[in-house]
Structures are given as C-alpha cells and as structure tokens.
C-alpha cells in the first residue's frame, strides 16, 4: 500500500496543493481585513506554484513565485499598508449585490462544470506529457514568438511611463 502511495505521490501532492489553492481562494471571499485577504491570496499563489512544479514546468513555477508573489503581492501589501484606514468602511465586507453575486457564482460554476463534464479534455499525449526545459522555452520565445516578446517589452515601458505620469499628476495636484 505504501508502494502505491509512493508511486502516486506526485499525483496526490498535486491534489493536495490544488485543494489548498481552492480553500485559500474561498477564504479570500470571506476574510474580513484586507491584510488577511492578501495573505490568503499569497497562499493560493504559492500552492499554484507547487502545482506547476509538480506538473513539470519548473521555470513557470519559479516565475510564479518570483513575479506574482515576489513583486505583485508585495506591492499589493505595501498599498494595503498605505491605505488601510481604521474606519467603518474597512470592516464592511460585502457589497449590496451579495446574494445576486452568490447566485451568479452558483450559475457560473454550474455552467462551467456542466460544460466541462460534457466535453472532458482527453488523456495527455505522450507518456507524462513531456516537461519543458528553459532552453527550449527561451529559444521558442526568441524565434517563434519574438513578436510577443517585443510587444511585452513595449508594454512594460508603457506601464513605467504611465506609473510615473500618474504620480506626477498626484504631486502636481498636491502642490496646487
């Protein structure tokens, strides 16, 4: 039995991480303070990183943790700490559309599940589906998907300019 367990360890671990991701995502909707919500999101992201690693795409897992958790969520935490006033609005959790939202969630989940159930994706091709190494990934990026690569650099430049412009507007209105 332990042999079976050890043989399917990676699958079990995948299921475990996936369950953790789901749980923390559900917790996000229920937790009160934004800080706790952020922590729940970090948990979700890290467990997703684990799933990616167990699926064999190690560099995507690394990027997930590095970029998403390490940059995006850190920034988000900074923003929460900057902005979180201890007032009434911060504690009010739900908007006026709570029950319609829940009902909509039920519908959406049911629609997606039904759609997937009727049209299940097939078994993976190739033995374990193949894992990629970063060398083939980067060469693909620079040969077949070079246009996307260039566009992302433009996008990042635009984001930098936009962020600076927004802050400058802020400073100008502060001064005036």
Partner 1 sequence: MGLLTLIVLLPLLGFLVNGLAGNRLGKRFVSVVGCGLPAIAFAVTVKCFLDLQAGGWAPLAETAYAWAVVGQSSFEIAFWFDRLTAVMALVVTGVGTLIHIYSIGYMHEDKSYARYFAYLNLFLFFMLLLVLGKSLLVLFVGWEGVGLASYLLIGFWFGDMEKAAAGKKAFVFNRIGDAGFLLGMFAIYSALGTFDMPAINAAFMGASTPAVSASLVGILLFIGATGKSAQIPLYVWLPDAMAGPTPVSALIHAATMVTAGVYLVARMSGIYLHAPEASTIIAAVGALTALMAATIAIAQDDIKKVLAYSTVSQLGFMFVALGVGAYGVAIFHVYTHAFFKACLFLGAGSVIHAMSGEQDIKKMGGLGRKIPITFVTFAVATAAISGIPPLAGFFSKDEILWYALASGRGGSVLLFAVMAFTALLTAFYMFRLFWLTFMGAPRMAKEVEHHVHESPASMTGVLVVLAVLSAVGGFLSIPHFLEPMLPLPETMAAMQPYHYWVMGGSIAIAATGLAGAIWFFAGDASRAGAIRAGFAGVYRVLSNKYYIDELYDRLFGRPLVWISDAVFLRLGDRMIIDGTLNGLASVAQRAAGRLSRVQTGSLHKYAFLVLVGMVASFVWMWTHG
Partner 2 sequence: MDKVQVLQFVAAALFALGLTGVVIRRNVLVMLMCMELMLNGVNLSLVTFAHAMGSAVGAVLVFLIFVVATAEIAVAIPIVLLLVRRKRTLDVGSFSDLKG
Binding interface with partner 1 (CB under 8 A) = 95-97, 100-101, 104-105, 107-108, 111-112, 114-115, 118-119
- Closer to partner 1 by Cβ: residue 113 or 158: 113
Residue 97 in contact with partner 2, rule: CB under 8 A: yes
Residue 9 in contact with partner 2, rule: CB under 8 A: no
CB 41, min distance to partner 2, A: 5
Residue 19 token pair = 């369950």
Residue 143 in contact with partner 2, rule: CB under 8 A: no
- Closer to partner 1 by Cβ: residue 118 or 143: 118
Contacts of 16-24 with C-beta under 8 Å, sequence gap 24+, read 17/47, 17/48, 17/50, 17/51, 17/54, 18/47, 18/51, 20/44, 20/47, 21/47, 21/48, 21/51
CB 70, min distance to partner 2, A: 11
Please give the backbone phi and psi of residue 13, each rounded to the nearest 5 degrees, phi first: -65, -40
CB 54 within 8 A of CB 129: no
Helix axes 134-143, 146-175, angle to 10 degrees: 80
48 binds, among partner 1, partner 2, none (CB under 5 to 8 A by kind): partner 2
- Closer to partner 2 by Cβ: residue 7 or 130: 130
């Amino acid at each position: 039995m332990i042999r079976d367990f050890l043989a399917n360890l990676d699958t079990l671990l995948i299921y475990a991480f996936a369950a953790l991701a789901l749980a923390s995502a559900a917790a996000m909707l229920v937790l009160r303070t934004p800080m706790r919500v952020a922590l729940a999101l970090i948990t979700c992201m890290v467990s997703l990183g684990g799933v990616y690693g167990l699926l064999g795409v190690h560099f995507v897992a690394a990027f997930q943790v590095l970029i998403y958790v390490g940059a995006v969520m850190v920034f988000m935490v900074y923003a929460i700490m900057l902005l979180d006033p201890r007032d009434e609005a911060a504690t009010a959790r739900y908007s006026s559309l709570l029950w319609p939202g829940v009902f909509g969630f039920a519908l959406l989940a049911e629609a997606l599940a039904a759609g997937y159930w009727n049209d299940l994706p097939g078994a993976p091709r190739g033995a374990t589906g193949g894992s990629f190494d970063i060398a083939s990934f980067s060469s693909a990026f620079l040969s077949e998907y070079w246009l996307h690569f260039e566009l992302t650099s433009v996008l990042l430049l635009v984001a930098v300019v936009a962020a600076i412009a927004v802050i400058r507007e802020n400073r100008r209105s502060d001064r005036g």
